[in-house]
Structure 1
Amino acid sequence: MYKRFLLPIDGSPPSEYAAAVGLALAKRLGASVVFAHVIEPHRYRDLHNYEEALERARTVGRALLEQWARKANHARVPCDVQLTSTEPENRPGVAEALMDVGVAHGCDLVVMGTHGRTGLPRMLLGSVAERMARLAPTPLLLVRGHDTKPTLFKHILVATDGSTFSELALQHADALAGALKAKLSVVYVVPDLTQLYVSAGRAWMFADPAQLQAQLAQEQSHLRAQGEYILKEAAERCTHAKQVHTLLREAGHHLIGERIREVADEIKADLIVMGTHGHTGLRKFLLGSVAEDVAQQAHQPILLVRNPAALTHPDESHLPPPGER
């Protein structure tokens, strides 16, 4: 399973909560953590002197790192701290600086909050998290909100579409459910071909509306059967989770991401796992774009798993499935 977490902190409530979730999860998995803070002097616009702003940024960063190092020591979780910057070596942004830290420390999971604000420097972890989701070579656990008590991840929901990308997400979800002794549910959402035909402009191929409806019904039935098969195969491949349940849902006139969020709320899942850039052959229903929609709207934390083969970032690291180190 995951051995070393990267926990970016900026002092905002969402960042603090995400770090608490990451620390608690690391303790349960026997992993170590790396707390990272990116200093950005230009965000202290109330100070006109650059050197003074730089020193303020460093002081705030060190204080945050020391605070979390003490918490890690109290929880008996091995930790390192890293104060870094966007300015040396002309790094383009916070996400890139954080990825450099993660690669340097051999981190295999990033846990971070979304829409975090520090108040004074107004550092937006929301936009940083979005860029991390697109570029990070490791799985990314996005945590929304700032509850007082970290979630225990007792029920994990993983979405599949039968692609190699969702297959990798299934491996991570299964391994995590096994390690945490959590219940695992697998959902497949059958796309609505009516929407696909209309949006793709294929309805003109059928002059007879009855013929169109018959064709759609036949293909929709095929997709439903395909979904049932994909779920059956997915359940058989889960070898770590003790409880595995499968759920087949119709998209109907709703977005696939919306259906996934509804299922997560319905079964009271406290973690959603999804692959990104998944391919089903139906270009309007890619789990990659659906994952972005779910990440933006879901109340639960979401674990985004990218296929290492799809990465193009120069600092990419080809990670094996969890448990195969």
Structure 2
Amino acid sequence: MSYTIMVAVDGEPDHRAALDWAAARAARDGARLELVHVIERSWGDSADEPSHLLVLAVRSLLDAEKTIALHHAREVRARGPVPAGSTGTVAAPADTGDDIDVGTRYCYGHIGPELADVSRDADLLVIGTPAEADRRRAFAGSLAVRVAAVAECPVAAVPHGWVDGGRGVVVGVDGELQTESAVEFAAAEAEILGEPLTVACAGYVANPLLAGLVPEISLGDRRERIAAEAADRAKERHPGVTVFTDVLDTAPSRGLVAEADGARLLVIGTHDRHGMQRLMLGSVGHDILLNVRTPVVVVRRSGSGAEGAGRR
């Protein structure tokens, strides 16, 4: 069964890591790829539609990005078959024998809300996020945070300039229900790649404010149990995957970012919030997306998108 990967593009050559990541995944899984560009609407603009000339320019941009995506997908498929461990099937090739199905669309409005709105039509939304050197600017990287908080499907944030590499998949767990979907997504990804899965539970063993009141051993044991139980669930559903656990005595966001250094992918879960609370991603997810060095997938607890995109 095919699924849809949607990737936001802006035409900047330095921002094409997200497009490459999405195209490679579509080529691997036989997924449909859709490129979306948001024409930014200024706050004082009363027009309901962008100008004709602007639309023509955006269509040209999307055509150019589509050509690049097709070229990258062909390169990926030329390297060899789907990685060992894949339970999915590759879609039938197009006329060239290698092409994936690529569509394009544009939106007019404010980029965060527009991407959140089009995410209803996707099983996985991919966006670029500033590289580490660019995050010194105020609010850099906040787009990924805003979109991941309200998107209707899992969101993959790929740092600008990222180059394919690393090995293994890391998933962060904390014992909450929202991490179960994240573990399933990560385990399915590890199975497709034929690479190990690391289940990481990070946090301070003892809160300084509770020193002497809560035995440190009890907090450490709890995190070990959380990691072990998540690892057992992953092994049960994906018996061919090698699963490791790691308990980190540090701030969760810092620990997970460090654990994912050198990995191919980091997966985290987020609460299925409602109303105004949906505008908040959560402090751990927020900090991870602002300090990401490897692609990160944020998975919501409910909905079929997580399983659809993760089980290929």
TM-score by length of 1: 0.72
Selected match of 2:189 from 170, 176, 183 = 176
Give deviations 1:264-299, integer Å, cap 9, x for gaps. Answer: 22xx212111112399xxxxxxx9321211111131
Q: CA contact under 8 A between 2:156 and 2:295: conserved in structure 1?
A: yes
1:65 aligns with 2:82: no
- Counterpart of 1:247? 246
1:78 aligns with 2:105: no
Compute the displacement of 1:182 (Å): 2.4
- Separation in structure 2 between the aligned mates of residue 40 and residue 79 of structure 1, nearest angstrom: 23
Q: CA contact under 8 A between 1:40 and 1:85: conserved in structure 2?
A: yes
- Separation in structure 1 between the aligned mates of residue 167 and residue 116 of structure 2, nearest angstrom: 29
Compute the displacement of 1:257 (Å): 1.1
- Separation in structure 1 between the aligned mates of residue 33 and residue 140 of structure 2, nearest angstrom: 19
Written as runs of structure 1 = structure 2, the 5 A alignment for 1:39-50 is 39-40=39-40, 42=42
- Separation in structure 1 between the aligned mates of residue 247 and residue 272 of structure 2, nearest angstrom: 18
1:303 aligns with 2:297: yes
1:292 aligns with 2:286: yes
Q: CA contact under 8 A between 2:128 and 2:157: conserved in structure 1?
A: yes
Give deviations 1:16-60, integer Å, cap 9, x for gaps. Answer: 2211111111211221111011123659x9xxxx99x83443233
Give deviations 1:187-234, integer Å, cap 9, x for gaps. Answer: 11243433353xxxxxxxxxxxxxx52x33x2x211211122222211
Q: CA contact under 8 A between 1:114 and 1:126: conserved in structure 2?
A: yes
How many matched pairs?
A: 266
1:187 aligns with 2:200: yes
* Alignment-mate amino acid for residue 301 of structure 1: P
Q: CA contact under 8 A between 2:189 and 2:311: conserved in structure 1?
A: no
Compute the displacement of 1:138 (Å): 0.6
Q: CA contact under 8 A between 2:144 and 2:289: conserved in structure 1?
A: no
Selected match of 2:119 from 80, 83, 102 = 102
- Counterpart of 2:269? 275
- Separation in structure 2 between the aligned mates of residue 274 and residue 298 of structure 1, nearest angstrom: 12
Q: CA contact under 8 A between 2:125 and 2:154: conserved in structure 1?
A: yes
- Separation in structure 2 between the aligned mates of residue 9 and residue 248 of structure 1, nearest angstrom: 37
Q: CA contact under 8 A between 1:14 and 1:143: conserved in structure 2?
A: no
Cα distance change of structure 1 residues 261 and 125 upon mapping to structure 2, 3 Å threshold? closer
Cα distance change of structure 1 residues 152 and 59 upon mapping to structure 2, 3 Å threshold? farther
- Tell me, what secondary structure is at the counterpart of 2:268? strand
* Alignment-mate amino acid for residue 217 of structure 2: S
Which 10-residue stretch deviates more, 298-307 or 54-63?
54-63
Q: CA contact under 8 A between 2:142 and 2:290: conserved in structure 1?
A: no
Cα distance change of structure 1 residues 153 and 304 upon mapping to structure 2, 3 Å threshold? farther
- Separation in structure 2 between the aligned mates of residue 108 and residue 196 of structure 1, nearest angstrom: 42
1:131 aligns with 2:146: yes
Q: CA contact under 8 A between 1:113 and 1:125: conserved in structure 2?
A: no
Q: CA contact under 8 A between 1:155 and 1:182: conserved in structure 2?
A: yes
- Counterpart of 1:17? 17
* Alignment-mate amino acid for residue 84 of structure 1: C
* Alignment-mate amino acid for residue 7 of structure 2: L
- Separation in structure 2 between the aligned mates of residue 144 and residue 320 of structure 1, nearest angstrom: 21
Compute the displacement of 1:178 (Å): 1.2
Provide structure 1 residue ranges, at least 5 long, that are not aligned to the other structure: 87-92, 117-123, 198-211, 280-286, 309-316
Cα distance change of structure 1 residues 33 and 153 upon mapping to structure 2, 3 Å threshold? farther
Cα distance change of structure 1 residues 55 and 42 upon mapping to structure 2, 3 Å threshold? farther
- Counterpart of 1:256? 252
- Tell me, what secondary structure is at the counterpart of 2:35? strand
Cα distance change of structure 1 residues 109 and 278 upon mapping to structure 2, 3 Å threshold? closer
Q: Give aligned-pair identity as a percent.
A: 28
Written as runs of structure 1 = structure 2, the 5 A alignment for 1:189-268 is 189-197=202-210, 213=212, 215-216=213-214, 218=215, 220-238=216-234, 239-240=237-238, 242-251=241-250, 255-265=251-261, 268=262
